[in-house]
Structure 1
Amino acid sequence: MDRGLRTGGWWPVPDVLAHLAGRWRVERVVRDLASGAEGRFEGATVFSPWPGGGLLHEESGMFTWQGVARPAERTLRFLPGGSPGTAEVRFADGRPFHDLDLTTGRHVADHPCSADLYRGEFTVLDGDRRRTVWRVCGPAKDLVLTTGYARVR
């Protein structure tokens, strides 16, 4: 994409599924604002074709919390969204998670989870780097999860 089309410090993405396809290096910092504890995830995410359209998102790596490192993984489905170039993100079991529209290079989405609210801000920094920040507020959690993604070529 032409760098001249970059607006507001974000990188517009005309087709989120095409942009995400492939392998990404992942680094995530998890901060518990109530306790001050901090954890770190390092690993990879692979977006591969999902039967019937969309992408299967498989993330795996090591999560270190309070000095203890453990393997961690998650799977999501990224399906074509309601308008061109967007996606509908679902959990592995098919439950809705959030929508994703990066046509401006930035998107904000909410996900209510029990009494807590997850608010995600998704930004595309350039063709090979993006960032997600989830702010989780509620009676059970007070967290900030900041994730950097870099495309693996």
Structure 2
Amino acid sequence: MGEFWPVPDALGYLAGGWRVERSVRDLASGAEGEFSGTTLFSPLDGGGLLHREAGTFVWQGVPRPAERTLRFLPGSTPPTVDVRFADGRPFHDLDLTRGHHVADHPCSADLYRGEFSVRSADRWRTVWRVRGPAKDLVLTTDYVREG
């Protein structure tokens, strides 16, 4: 199967709980941070999954609670997924049939480029590279299935 683990049904794969570890590096300033917590993908009425992430974000030594919510919905062409922010705005597409996917999200003058890599039935990673006039970041997140 090579370096990546193909996933024919991304929503089925993601469903459930995951331990999350994220590193955040500001390439311009050299500042670093980390997030540790959990993500729960739970069923939505009408199909798809609600992604709820909660934990602690430590930036330059200062810990604070952090959370976010996304919606992972069936895409227009199965087996793709349409990822949206909690308020319904589009975020990016997702296709894990090859175990690897690259998605872009333009945000004002910044570009977020996400690389998704599935390593096994219980491990996957995202690497977001954020570039723009005021941002030069790398966010690397590792997910390990709970239980």
> TM-score normalized by structure 2?
0.99
Q: Work out the CA distance in 1 between the residues paired with 2:26 and 2:77.
A: 36
Q: Work out the CA distance in 2 between the residues paired with 1:152 and 1:38.
A: 26
Alignment counterpart, residue 33 of structure 1, candidates 21, 24, 27: 27
> Which residue type is aligned with residue 33 of structure 2?
G
Q: Work out the CA distance in 2 between the residues paired with 1:86 and 1:148.
A: 21
Alpha-carbon displacement from aligned partner over 1:47-99 (angstroms, at most 9, x marks no partner): 00011100000000000001100000000000001222220000000000000
> Which residue type is aligned with residue 52 of structure 1?
G
Aligned residues: 147
SS of residue in 1 equivalent to 2:12? helix
Aligned to 2:114: 120
> Which residue type is aligned with residue 58 of structure 2?
T
Alpha-carbon displacement from aligned partner over 1:26-66 (angstroms, at most 9, x marks no partner): 00000000000000000000000011100000000000001
Alignment counterpart, residue 82 of structure 2, candidates 88, 101, 110: 88
Q: Work out the CA distance in 1 between the residues paired with 2:12 and 2:95.
A: 13
Alignment counterpart, residue 132 of structure 2, candidates 122, 135, 138: 138
Give the share of equivalent positions with the same residue, in percent: 75
2:65 is aligned with 1:49:
no
Q: Structure 1: where are the runs of 5+ without partners?
A: 1-5
2:145 is aligned with 1:151:
yes
> Which residue type is aligned with residue 20 of structure 1?
L
Aligned to 2:94: 100
> Which residue type is aligned with residue 89 of structure 1?
V
Alpha-carbon displacement from aligned partner over 1:106-152 (angstroms, at most 9, x marks no partner): 00000000000000000000000000000000002100000000000
Q: What's the Cα RMSD here? A: 0.6
